[in-house]
Amino acid sequence: MNKTNNNTGLKVAIGILLALFLGTGFYASKLYSDKKSETAELVKQKKQVMNDLSVMAKQYDAAIGENEIANETLVEARNRIQGLMDSLKVSQNSVGSLWRYKKKYLALQEEMDVLLQENDRLKVENELLATTLDSTQIQLAERAAFTDSLLVQNTELAGVVKDAGALQTIGLKGFGVIERSSGKQIPTERARRSDKIKVCYTVAKNLLAETGDKELYIQIIDPQNNVLGSNNQIEFEDQTLNYSLISRFNYENSNLNICEFVSPTEDEKFEKGRYIVNVFNENNLISSSEFTLR
| Domains, the chain, ordered by start | 12-161 (no CATH), 169-293 (2.60.40.10)
How many CA within 13 A on the CB side of residue 48?
9
More confident residue, 136 or 267: 267
Q: Tens digits of per-residue pLDDT, 162-217?
A: 467 788 999 999 999 999 988 899 999 999 999 999 999 999 998 888 999 999 99
Instruction: Report the pLDDT value the prediction gives residue 130, as an integer from 0 to 100.
Output: 60
Q: Report yes or no: 56 and 108 within 8 Å, Cβ to Cβ.
A: yes
pLDDT at 86 over 70: yes
CA 252 from chain center: how many Å?
Answer: 27
Whole-model pTM: value is: 0.47
Residues 97 and 238: their CA atoms lie apart, in Å, by: 7
Which range, of 25-29, 66-70, 138-142, 265-269, averages the lowest pLDDT? 25-29
Name the H helices within the chain: 2-66, 72-89, 95-132, 136-161
CA angle 152/115/109 to nearest 5° reads: 150
pLDDT at 123 over 90: no
More confident residue, 108 or 155: 108
Residues 110 and 103: their CA atoms lie apart, in Å, by: 11
Residues 155 and 9: their CA atoms lie apart, in Å, by: 86
What is residue 205's three-state secondary structure? coil
For the segment 90-94, the average pLDDT, to the nearest whole number, is 66
Q: Is the dihedral of CA 159, 160, 165, 168 positive or negative?
A: negative
More confident residue, 262 or 267: 262
